[in-house]
Amino acid sequence: MAPLHEKRLWRTIGRIERWSVADARSKNDKEVPMSSSDTPQPPAPDKGQLKAALKPFKKRLKLPCLDGQTRIGVGPLSGGRASSIVGITPPDQFPEEVWEELVRQGRLKSAGSGQYSLIQQ
């Protein structure tokens, strides 16, 4: 086993090497501002992808709503209570553009902080 001071020396050398590499990268990378016309726009999600994304979103929203409505403590003869779930984080199998397109179409509502809610129809 190496003495403690030798381990510290190798750790310090490793840090210096990482810093020098990072410094060299920052000097070589010259950021050129791109205009909005230069940035490539991602293709709009197709209709099938939007439909496929909405199905797991509805399922994911349904479970917490049902769980909230059937809490213990509600009278056995009452009809339960309304769910207080406002929005959920959408499934991460689909890109953010899909959810934004569904909001733009009026099928979902943005609840803030990356969460969305279903619009009541």
Report pLDDT for 3. Answer: 61
**Domain ranges (residues) in the chain:** 45-69+83-121
Can you give the C-alpha Rg of the chain in angstroms? 26
| pTM, full prediction | 0.59
**Please, which residues have CB within 8 angstroms of residue 68's CB and are 6 or more apart in sequence?**
83, 84, 85
pLDDT attached to residue 49: 94
- pLDDT on residue 10: 59
Backbone phi and psi for residue 106, each to the nearest 5 degrees, phi listed first: 90, 15
Percent of the chain predicted with pLDDT > 90: 33
**pLDDT above 70 (res 7):** no
Q: What is the pLDDT of residues 33-91, one digit of tens each?
A: 555 556 677 778 899 999 999 999 999 998 888 877 776 665 666 666 667 778 899 99
